[in-house]
Amino acid sequence: MLIHFHPFCSPPAVKDVNVQLERERSEGISSPSRYDDSTLLNPGTHSSILDDNTKSDPGLPEGRSKSSGLCFSDGKSRIDYILVYRKSSSQSEKREVFERNIRAEGLQMEKEASLTNSDVIFLKLHAPWDVLCRYAELMNIRMPFRRKIFYMHRRHKFMSRMEKRINKFRGWLPRKPMKFDNNTLPDLEENESFTAPFNDFNLFLHFYTFFNNATRSRIVHHILQRVKYEEGKNKMGLNRLLSNNSYEAAFPLHEGSYHSKNPIRTHGAENHRHLLYECWAWWGVWYKYQPLDLIRRYFGEKIGLYFAWLGWYTGMLFPAALVGLLVFLYGLFTLDHCQVSKEICQATDIIMCPICDQYCPYLRLSDSCIYAKVTHLFDNGATVFFAVFMAVWATVFLEFWKRRRAVLAYDWDLIDWEEEEDEIRPQFEAKYSKKERTNPISGKPEPYQAFTDKYSRLVVSASGIFFMILVVIAAVFGIVIYRVITVSTFAAFGWALIRNNSQVATTGTAVCINFCVIMLLNVVKQPRTESEWENSFTLKMFLFQFVNLNSSTFYIAFFLGRFTGRPGAYLRLINRWKLEECHPSGCLIDLCMQMGIIMVLKQTWNNFMELGYPLIQNWWTRRRLRREHGEKAKASFPQWERDYNLQPMNAYGLFDEYLEMILQFGFTTIFVAAFPLAPLLALLNNIIEIRLDAYKFVTQWRRPLPSQAKDIGIWYGILEGIGILSVITNAFVIAVTSDFIPRLVYAYKYGPCAGQGRAGEGCMMGYVNASLSVFRVSDFERRSHPKTNGSKLFGEAVKYCRYRDYREPPDSVEPYAYTLQFWHVLAARLAFIIVFEHMVFAIKTLIAYLIPDLPKDLRDRMRREKYLIQEMMYEAELERLQKEKNEKKKKDRAHHKEWP
């Protein structure tokens, strides 16, 4: 394999790693090596080259090295972190104390003014070798010390012959287009090495011995979070100094430009950022797998796990989208054979009752022919199967993600990370440092928060979230009132197109208003450890956002048209407005419109805000710099200046990224029985989302602080909760919102095939007439407008109209009472909900039981690793005993030689 050294800084040539280590430990210098981030493949080079970057550049100020702003002015000390402040800031005293304490911790500093604004000062920080070693040991950072060698089972001769034939056959086939050529990616050897907590006394064990950029930045950030900025007071941490404007920004540097004049295929990658852009963030590789190891190395495990989960979720959407599309196509191909839509389209003699009190005309049932056909596309015989499939799919997705996460956690050495290395938040540590108690695990004193203080804060926080949920419910109530009022307005509209489609127009405008309310409320929004803070914040904000996004959908699915009463005895809102009814073709059309419009609009808006906003901000910054300093001056800016002009990562880190995808997952699964195309829309969005996020992280944002995590945190529990909720909601959608159960009851109990035990095409004849009740127009309420009572349709007086319900006719013994068919349908709905839920939950439980959390090969590798580590410890102990024995023999010989 050919290795290319990128010239971050200019270290001397290294022949012996141990000699270089001793030199660095004595001089306090940390330089890159062949095992650091600078090891990149260069297909066009046949030797390892170290460029000299210490030569002066006439285009730069005197004393600045030509290192693209990645090192101090000496060209040797790597910049591990950047702090930015303004000289005009009033917090100079706090900065002086803070910087003095930084020096006391051993960090090296260098200041330099901005080329574009003399008021802006860049404080460059470098961690020498001894500081890195000390804090690596305190932070329990694990370092590789020996390559992994796994025992491979011997194959039988028959299997070997079969493998050769299969490989020969594969040679004739084209290469897998979704995989990257291994020659274009660096050899990240640490992923195949045994690791152990760093210990300076056992340094000889670590054959890598150098800290990569991500680890160095994490160590420096850890130091900055615990440095005091006021003498005699327990006020500490960089976060507080950022919040009170002592510092304007803090970030690690990118490794250089993501662009290169030379093609990567011939000249190799300039740095890992350039490589990430070419093989991940560039739109031309949208169909390729993600280089997760490289993402993890550059951005840290936390961001690496997010993209691993997003990629896994997107890949799992392929079968769901395919099945959903087939269900939709099944409805499309069977549309001409649907007896229900045929009867609706041919029912020119059936007159429906007005949908509102005033100025609403009578319409024929055949006027809703188009909507009946559209409803069949989503509400057909395959709907129940698809709902069961999606419930099983959600379980399979979560179970196989656990296996995938376990593999990543093992490869990235995160199996036991959380228990050993989760850090106490600096804010918590500063506030509760006076109260301490002994940690039962470590036996060390730690800050302690009293029970009363902890739960009083919990009550206040829960009250705030409850209040915001009430605001959301109030907004939904306002939309309901809008729908009730608008449907009457549109029914009396002068434009015939709006008047004849008043319900659809009402639903469409209400959904758009609901979307605006959702996005508006999205803008409106003290635990112990960092992960506890994230989990607490995540759960509270998810509950609010989930209710905000889905409350209106729940209303349409389960409440719209359920409690309106009947003609002549309508239930009214505030004793004034008649509640909205479902469309004559059913309520499912409203739910489909709600989900389709919200999914498309929300995903489009999110994609624009995620990429469009930073693009516009960065474009405006570049335009200002070109106008003030010219294009050539901008090209000569050091790396810290270029990164400072980029947009910072949002304050909530990956929260917004996860939240968007989790809400999409809920929208895709909770009401999927009503909208089978939801997985397809989610898939198309996510293919774009991965590259949008990649482009944003690599090109538009400052480099975020690399941080560790062993899983996706509380989001996994939320996904499990959504999976359970989806089973319940889909059962209710099929039983209550859809017409699946009424049709089934009619086919087996009341139709032409009643009592025959079969349900063919002819068994649904007469269903539409049986599902509509008769109302006498003269029985309308007196409060109804006179135009409604006894109005005419095409010159004929209307005496009777029809409405969707199962009630007795007006001339029966009990006028408008529920019929026996109503109770049969209600009993069938309840029975279906119970059977469906128990069956699906049983299948989900069985699948979760059958799929182990750890793959067998991973379990074998972990056992093998444990065995090898024990062997190495045993060999090291034998070597130590043998060494002591030999030293004792030498002493004995020397002692005997002293005698005459």
Q: Residue 122: enclosing H or E segment and its boundaries?
A: strand 120-126
Domain check: are 719 and 865 in the same one? no
pLDDT of residue 43 exceeding 90: no
Predicted confidence band of residue 534 (pLDDT cuts 50, 70, 90): low
How far apart, in Å, do the first and last CA atoms of the chain sit? 63
Q: Which one-letter DSSP state was computed for residue 559? A: T
Of 737, 756, 773, the position where a domain reaches its end is 737
What are the Cα distances from residue 130, in Å, to 28, 34, 421? 6, 20, 21
Domain check: are 533 and 403 in the same one? yes
Predicted confidence band of residue 37 (pLDDT cuts 50, 70, 90): very low
Alpha-carbon gap, residue 155 to 79, rounded angstroms: 51
pLDDT digits (tens, 9 = 90+) for 201-238: 555 454 445 788 888 999 999 999 888 888 766 677 88
User: How many Cβ atoms from other residues are within 10 Å of residue 604's Cβ?
Assistant: 11
Strands 120-126 and 363-364: unpaired
Domain check: are 520 and 667 in the same one? yes
Q: What is the mean pLDDT of residues 295-324?
A: 92
Alpha-carbon gap, residue 663 to 541, rounded angstroms: 12
Residue 549 lies in a domain: yes
The encoded tokens of residue 736 equal: 């209550």
pLDDT digits (tens, 9 = 90+) for 7-20: 446 443 333 434 44
Local structure of 70: helix, strand or coil: coil
Q: Which one-letter DSSP state was computed for residue 13? A: P
Residue 755 lies in a domain: no
Residue 417 lies in a domain: yes
The encoded tokens of residue 313 equal: 């979720």
pLDDT digits (tens, 9 = 90+) for 53-112: 333 333 333 333 344 578 888 888 889 999 999 988 888 888 888 999 999 999 999 998
Mark 194-216 as b/e (b = at least 16 C-beta within 10 Å): bbbebeeeebebbebbbbbbbbb
Predicted confidence band of residue 310 (pLDDT cuts 50, 70, 90): very high
The encoded tokens of residue 80 equal: 């591990």
Radius of gyration of the chain (CA): 35
Residue 94 lies in a domain: no
Amino acid at 769: N
What are the Cα distances from residue 717, in Å, to 171, 328, 546, 831? 44, 31, 15, 30
Alpha-carbon gap, residue 558 to 818, rounded angstroms: 20
Residue 243 lies in a domain: no
Alpha-carbon gap, residue 26 to 22, rounded angstroms: 6
The lowest-confidence range among 345-354, 435-444, 828-837 is 435-444
Q: What is the mean pLDDT of residues 880-893?
A: 80
Domain containing 611 equals 289-737
Among residues of the chain, what percentage have pLDDT more than 70?
A: 71
Local structure of 358: helix, strand or coil: coil
Domain check: are 307 and 439 in the same one? yes
Alpha-carbon gap, residue 802 to 791, rounded angstroms: 15
pLDDT digits (tens, 9 = 90+) for 444-463: 555 655 656 666 666 766 67
Alpha-carbon gap, residue 727 to 155, rounded angstroms: 45
Of 691, 713, 737, the position where a domain reaches its end is 737
- Which residues lie below 8 Å from residue 147, measured CB to CB, with a gap of 6+? 189, 192, 193, 194
Q: Residue 125: enclosing H or E segment and its boundaries?
A: strand 120-126
Which has the higher per-residue pLDDT, 772 or 488?
A: 772
- Nearest 5°: the CA angle 639, 105, 190 is 60
Which has the higher per-residue pLDDT, 520 or 684?
A: 684
Predicted confidence band of residue 853 (pLDDT cuts 50, 70, 90): confident
pLDDT of residue 900 exceeding 60: no
Total residues found in the chain within this entry: 900
The lowest-confidence range among 58-62, 264-268, 294-298 is 58-62
Residue 869 lies in a domain: yes
Residue 314 lies in a domain: yes
Alpha-carbon gap, residue 764 to 767, rounded angstroms: 6
- CA 77, 82, 87, 92 dihedral sign is negative
Average pLDDT, the chain: 76
Q: How many structural domains are present in the chain?
A: 2
Domain check: are 729 and 863 in the same one? no
- CA 155, 160, 166, 167 dihedral sign is positive
pLDDT score at 45? 33
What are the Cα distances from residue 547, in Å, to 329, 468, 475, 476, 518? 32, 10, 11, 10, 10
Residue 9 lies in a domain: no
Of 706, 737, 768, the position where a domain reaches its end is 737
